[in-house]
Structure 1
Amino acid sequence: MDKVRIGVIGLGNMGSSHTKHIHLEKRVPNLVLGAVCDISEERREWARNTLPEVPVFEDALSMYKSGLIDAVLIAVPHYDHPVLAIQGFEHGLHVLVEKPAGVHTKQVLEMNEAAQKSDKLFCIMYNQRTNPVYQKVRDLVKSGELGGIKRAVWIITDWYRPQCYHDSGTWRSTWEGEGGGTLINQNPHNLDLFQWILGMPKRVRSFCGFGKFYNIEVEDDVTAYMEFENGASGVYITSTAESPGTNRLEISGDMGKIVVEKNVITFHRNRVSEREFNKTNTAPFGRPEAWKCEVPADTNGGEQHVGIMKNFTNAILKGEKLLAPGEEGVLGLLISNGIHYSAWTDSWADLENFDHDGFYNLLQDKIKTSTYVKPDVVQNVADVAGTH
C-alpha cells in the first residue's frame, strides 16, 4: 500500500474544502480521493461537475461497501460523527472525523470503544494543533519552563456571529440540530487546546446565557471557572455577541506568565521561581526580577487541515505518530458538556466522575421541551456540513 484512498462524507463548507485540498490541489502526498458522499442531490451534482473523475454516493454505507476507499473523512453535522465513525470501523476503514467528536460524551465514548476494538487508525481534525504558536506554548508548559501552573485565563470572544448566521440553516443554534451553541460550534478547537496545553481540569462551575443576545435557544455567552489537580484555576470566557472581540490566552506559573495574543507569545519570565523568592525575600514589597521576552514561533498558523491530513496519511503508511488521536476528542467535549451540565443544574460538574448518562438525559429533555420556533430561512445547502 503506497497510497491511501479516502472517501469524504459531507460536501458542505468543510467537506468540499477537503476534497479540493486532496483532489484538485493535490496538497496531501499519497492521499487520493477515492469517493465522495452526500445526502443532498445538489451537493452530489456539485461533486459530479467539480470532481468528475470521483465516484459519488448518496449514502455512507454504499460507499463503505464499495471497495473504493481505505479511509473515511467525516464532515457532517455533529450528531452523526460517532454513528458514521463506528460504521467506518465496522467496515475496516481508517477514520478521520471533523470536530467536534460528537455532541455528548456518551456517544463519543462508544465511538472510542469501537476504535479501540478495530485495528484501524482514528484521528480528529484538531487542525489548531498544527499551529506552531500553540505548539510552543504547550512545550513551555509541559517542559516545566513556566514552573508550576497557577492560573490560566482564555478570553475568546472574537467569534462574532450576527442573527442572520444563526438563521442561515435549520439545524443551526438548536439543541436538536446542533446540540448547543458557541461551545459545540465555534469553541471545540480552543477547548481542545486548553486541555492539550494544561491537562484536564477536575471540575467546572459555569454561568451561561442561552439566547441572551440572539433569538436562539442555545448558549451564546459563557463564563466558566475550572480547578485542576495541582490546585491551579482556570477561567474560560467566550461569546458570539462581542464585536470587536478578544482572543487572549494568559497562563501564570512560578516562573512568570505567558500571554498569547494576535498570534504572538510574550513570556514575562521571572529570573527565579516566585515560590523560591517567597521563601528567601525579606523586603515587604519585593518581587522577582522579570524579563519581558518575545518567544520566537512561526506565526503562519501551520498547515492546519492539510497538516492533519498529511499526518493521518503518514500514520497509515509509515507509522507516524498521530498529532490528534481521535480518542482525545472526548476531552474537549467533556469540558463543553461539563459547562452545559453546570449551568443547567446550577452546580459544580465533576469531570473526573462525570455523569455521562445524566448529561444525555438533560440534553434530551432540552430537545423534547423546546418551544423554539426557527424563523423562515433560505437553507444554504453548501453550509449544512459547515461547523464554524
Structure 2
Amino acid sequence: MDKVRIGIIGLGNMGTSHAVHITEGKVPRMELAAICDIAEARRTYAEEHFPGVKVFDNATDMYKSGLLDAVIIAVPHYSHPPLAIEAFSYGLHVMTEKPAGVYTKQVLEMNEAAKKSGKVFGIMYNQRTNPVYQKIRSMIQRGDLGEIKRITWIITNWYRKQSYHDSSAWRSTWKDEGGGTLINQNPHQLDLWQWMFGMPEKIMSFCSFGRFYNIEVEDDVTAYMQYKNGTTGVYITSTGETPGTNRLEIACDMGQLIIEDNKIKFKRNIMSEREYNRTDTDSIFGSLEYWNCDIPVDSSGGEQHVGILKNFTAAILDGEKLLAPGYEGINGLTISNAIHYSAFTNKWADVTNFPHDEFYELLQEKIKNSTFKKEVKEQKTLDADSMSSTH
C-alpha cells in the first residue's frame, strides 16, 4: 500500500476542513475516497465541492464499500466511540476528532475494540504539534524545572456568543453534546495538561451552568487539582469573557515558567529553591537570584491538524509512532468527567480510581431531568471556500 484511502464521517466544520486539506494535497499519501453525512444538504454539498469522491448517507455502507483503508470521525461527541468500534470491526484504521467521547465508560469500550483490531488508532489532538508545548514537555521530562510545585492555567479566550450556542441543535445540551466548554472548547488543553504534567490524583471543582448564556451546561469553570507528589494545579476556563486570557504558569524548584502568546518566558533561579532553602542559613529573609530568560522556540503553532494527519498516514504506511494515540484520549476526558463529577456531587473526584459507572448514571440523570428547551435559530456549517489555503 503506497497511500491511505480515507473516508470522512460528518461534513460539518471539522470534517469540511479535513476534506479541504486532503484534497488540496496538504497530506501527502492520503487520498479522500469517501464522505458520509446523514444530512442531505451536506451530501449535496459534498458532491458539488468534492467531485469524484463517493458520498454515503450512512457509515455502515461506507465501511462495507471496500473503498477505504481508514476513517476520520468528525461527528458530534457521543457518536465517536460507536462509530470507531464499528470501523474497527471492518478492519479500518481510525482517526477520531476530539474529545474521545462524552463519558469514560464508552471510551474504555472503544479502546478495547481498538486493541483487539490491531489497527492504527489516532485522535485529533493537534495542539501536540505546537512546538511550545513540545518544548515544555521536554523540559519537564529532562528535569530542567526540578520538582513542579504549582500549575495555573487560565484559558478564558474561548468567547462564544449566544448565537453560537443557537447555531446547532446538538450544541450546549446534556443530551446531544454532553457538556459545555469542558467537552467542546477545552479538550485540547486538558489533554496538554496530562501530556505535560501527568494525571492528577483528585479534583475539586466549581462550575456555573448557564451563567452567561441561555444554555443548560457549564460555561464557567474553576478546578483545583492535587497530585500524589504534592503538586497542585488550578484550571480556570470560561466562554463568557472577552478579550479573555490564555496564560499558563508553572512554579517549580528552578523558578517560574510563563507561557503566553505562544512564547515561553523562564524566570530561572540560579540554583534550586530547595537547595537554597537548605544551604543559605545566614539570614532570616533571603532572596534567590534569578534570570529572565526567553526560551527559544518556534512560535508558529506547528502543523496542527495537517501534522496529525501526516503522522497518522506515516503510522499506517511506515509504522511511525503516533504523536497522539487514540488510547490516550481517555486521559483528558477523565479530567473533564472528574470536573463535572465534582461539580455534580459537591465533593472530591477520585481521578486515579475514577467511578466510570457512577458518572455515567449522573449524566443520565442530567439528561432525564432536563427541562431545557433548545432553540435553533440558524444551522451554520463552514464552506470549503472559507477553508482554502488562500484564507
Relative to the length of structure 1, the TM-score reads 0.97
SS in structure 2 of the partner of residue 46 of structure 1: helix
SS at match of 1:79: helix
Tell me the secondary structure at the aligned position of residue 137 of structure 2.
Answer: helix
1:344 aligned residue:
344
8 Å CA contact 1:11, 1:382 repeated in 2 = no
- The match for 1:202 is 201
Q: What is the identity, as a one-letter code, of the residue corresponding to 2:258? A: V
Counterpart CA distance in 2 for 1:196 and 1:257 is: 19
Match of 2:327 in 1: 327
C-alpha separation between the residues in 2 aligned to 1:213 and 1:119? 45
C-alpha deviation, 1:168, in angstroms: 1.0
Amino acid at match of 1:10: G
Q: Deviations over 1:339-362 (max 9, x none)?
A: 000000000000011110000000
1: distance between equivalents of 2:262 and 2:380?
32
1:134 & 1:49 partners in 2: Cα distance?
A: 39
Quote the offset at 1:374 in angstroms.
Answer: 1.3
Q: Does 1:220 align with 2:219?
A: yes
> How far off is 1:271 after superposition?
1.0
SS of aligned partner of 1:272: coil
Contact 2:13/2:381 (8 A) holds in 1: no
| Matching residue of 1:365 | 365
Structure 2 partner of 1:133: 132
Contact 2:268–2:291 (Cα < 8 Å) also in 1 = yes
Aligned equivalent of 1:41 = 40
Q: TM-score scaled by structure 2?
A: 0.96
Which residue of 2 is the match for residue 386 of structure 1? Answer: none
Aligned residue number for residue 98 of structure 2: 99
Shift in CA distance, 306/381, structure 1 to aligned 2, threshold 3 Å: closer
Percent identity between matched residues is: 66
1:164-183 pair list within 5 angstroms: 164-183=163-182
Q: Unpaired runs of 5+ in structure 2? A: 384-391
Residue in 2 that maps onto 1:62: 61
Q: What's the offset of the Cα at 1:382? A: 5.3
Q: AA paired with 1:197?
A: M
Matched, 1:375 2:375: yes
- Aligned match of 2:386: none
C-alpha separation in 2, matches of 1:368 and 1:254:
48
Aligned positions of 1:251-262 closer than 5 A: 251-262=250-261
Q: 2:3 maps to what in 1?
A: 3
User: Partners in 2 of 1:76 and 1:285 — Cα distance?
Assistant: 58
- The answer on whether the counterparts of 1:43 and 1:381 sit within 8 Å (CA) in structure 2 is no
Give the C-alpha shift of residue 288 in structure 1. 2.0
Q: Distance in 2 between matches of 1:243 and 1:376?
A: 24
Instruction: Give the alignment's Cα RMSD to 1 decimal.
Output: 0.9
Separation of aligned partners in 2, 1:367 and 1:119? 35
Letter in 2 for 1:341: Y
**Alpha-carbon deviation of 1:287?**
2.5
> Per-residue CA shift, 1:289-339, capped at 9, x if unaligned?
111100011011100000000000001111110000000000000000000
**1:200-238 C-alpha deviation (Å, 9 max, x unpaired):** 000000000001111110000000000012110000000
8 A Cα contact 1:170 1:377, kept in partner: no
- Partner residue of 2:387? none
Letter in 2 for 1:181: G
In structure 1, stretches of 5+ residues that fail to align are 384-388
Aligned pairs for 1:205-354 within 5 A: 205-282=204-281, 283-354=283-354
In structure 2, the residue matched to 1:18 is 18
1-side partners of 2:305 and 2:284: how far apart? 52
Q: What residue identity is the alignment partner of 2:219?
A: D
Separation in structure 1 between the aligned mates of residue 375 and residue 45 of structure 2, nearest angstrom: 28
Task: Output one character per residue of 1:8-52: Cα deviation in whole Å (capped at 9) or x when no partner.
Answer: 0000010011011001x1001111111111001111111111111
